[in-house]
């Protein structure tokens, strides 16, 4: 089947009490690892591309890699999504360039400016058969382009969500309930706890609207240890506990964003490989186990956390 939008996959996920994995892609091995896991478990999937990914790998290379994944895995629905679209122009370029879904990130703007920007993107996107994720509430953490400190982050205010979704016409809403981007989500020694009270209130006010959760890597300690053992330095890297992601997936959360876990699996594997095979220099030798571990990690997410296996 050709690339799809997220409409149908979110509808089924909302009704079925599971979530779709939205995984960031930056190169061929990552695309292959993710989609092989999805094909093997018959899971629908969102492959998402950030502004940084487009700057690194180029729009055409990324869309062609995803096109190849669609051809190789005709039995699973795949959506191609712009992650953290910073402005109208980037969204337009992705809509014109074959994406089926875009995120417009206006959450650091005032409410009115966020509404205005999101509405403009929604109008253009819907005219072109593309769906839109908008955001209310700001996550802490580091992405390529943005570094939001914990003090500048803010939870979503449930009393704003109905007006925002009605006025913008967005298809799904990303909310901030305590997740953050990157590998250092909680202070070591503190108990990670997402604000399920906010999620419940949002769900009550927006029945049927799919909710997205950014910053949802669980930062597998097996890979943090692998990195630290083989020359890396990531002390105190902590993610969202998987039982809390499972709980969110059973609720209105239909999209769970994962990037850092892919990076950890790839980096840990390659560090270990280099340490164990100092004489090897063919990139295929170390990229192969890295891709295999990405696949294994994604399979675990699909089956044991998101619950979207068998739903393709
Ligand atoms: O949420 C952000 C993603 O992890 C993408 O990160 O901007 O470094 O590509 P990036
Ligand atoms: P992580 O850093 O938790 O993987 O979050 C990824 C994300 O939100 C991409 O938009
Ligand atoms: Zn994000």
pLDDT of the residue at 167: 98
Cβ of 180 less than 6 Å from ligand 2:
no
Contact yes or no for 162/209 (Cβ under 8 A): no
**What is d(CA 145, CA 86) in angstroms, rounded to the nearest whole number?**
9
Q: Which ligand is nearest to the CA of 51?
A: 1
Indicate yes or no: pTM above 0.85: yes
pLDDT of the residue at 307: 98
Rounded to the nearest 10 degrees, the angle between the axes of helix 283-300 and helix 28-41 is 40
pLDDT of the residue at 98: 98
**What is d(CA 69, CA 72) in angstroms, rounded to the nearest whole number?**
5
Token representation of residue 195: 């604000």
Cβ of 21 less than 6 Å from ligand 2:
no
Identify whether 83 is a catalytic site residue: yes
Provide the H-helix boundaries in the chain. 7-16, 28-41, 51-57, 59-72, 88-96, 111-127, 161-168, 196-205, 221-229, 242-250, 260-276, 283-300
CB crowding 61-82: b at 16 or more within 10 Å, else e: ebbebbeebbeebeebbbbbbb
Closest-lying ligand 2 atom to the alpha carbon of residue 261 = 4
Cβ of 182 less than 6 Å from ligand 2:
yes
Burial class (CB in 10 A: 0-12, 13-18, 19+), 288: middle
pLDDT of the residue at 146: 61
pLDDT of the residue at 234: 98
- 39 Cα: distance to centroid of ligand 1 (angstroms): 24
Cβ of 137 less than 6 Å from ligand 2:
no
pLDDT of the residue at 142: 64
pLDDT of the residue at 140: 76
Provide the H-helix boundaries in 46-145. 51-57, 59-72, 88-96, 111-127
Q: Which of 142, 143, 146, 214 most suits a substitution to test ligand 2, by most atoms within 8 Å of the C-beta?
A: 214
Contact yes or no for 161/205 (Cβ under 8 A): yes
Average pLDDT by stretches of 10, the chain with 312 residues: 96 98 99 98 98 98 98 98 98 98 96 98 98 94 67 88 98 97 95 96 98 98 98 98 98 98 99 98 98 98 98 98
- 276 Cα: distance to centroid of ligand 2 (angstroms): 30
């Amino acid at each position: 089947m050709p690339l799809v939008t997220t409409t149908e996959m979110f509808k089924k996920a909302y009704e079925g009490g599971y979530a779709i994995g939205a995984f960031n892609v930056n190169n061929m091995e990552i695309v292959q690892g993710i989609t092989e896991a999805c094909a093997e478990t018959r899971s629908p999937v969102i492959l998402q591309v950030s502004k940084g990914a487009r700057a690194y790998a180029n729009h055409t290379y990324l869309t062609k890699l995803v096109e190849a994944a669609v051809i190789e895995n005709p039995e699973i629905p795949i959506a191609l999504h712009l992650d953290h679209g910073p402005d109208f122009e980037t969204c337009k370029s992705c809509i014109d360039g074959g994406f089926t879904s875009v995120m417009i990130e206006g959450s650091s703007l005032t409410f009115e400016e966020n509404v205005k920007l999101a509405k403009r993107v929604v109008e253009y996107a819907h005219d072109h058969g593309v769906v839109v994720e908008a955001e209310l509430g700001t996550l802490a953490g580091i992405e390529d382009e943005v570094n939001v400190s914990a003090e500048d982050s803010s939870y979503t205010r449930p009393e704003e969500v109905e007006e925002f979704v009605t006025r913008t016409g967005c298809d799904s809403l990303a909310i901030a309930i305590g997740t953050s981007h990157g590998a250092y989500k909680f202070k070591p020694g503190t108990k990670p706890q997402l604000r399920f009270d906010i999620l419940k209130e949002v769900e009550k006010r927006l029945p049927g609207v799919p909710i997205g959760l950014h910053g949802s890597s669980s930062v597998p300690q097996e890979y943090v240890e692998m990195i630290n053992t083989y020359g890396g330095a990531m002390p105190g890297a902590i993610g969202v506990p998987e039982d809390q992601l499972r709980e969110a997936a059973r609720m209105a959360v239909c999209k769970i964003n994962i990037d850092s876990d892919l990076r950890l699996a790839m980096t840990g594997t390659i560090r270990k490989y280099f340490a164990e095979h100092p004489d090897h220099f063919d990139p295929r030798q170390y990229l192969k186990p890295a891709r295999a571990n990405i696949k294994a990690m994604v399979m675990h997410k699909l089956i044991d956390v998101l619950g979207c296996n068998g739903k393709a």
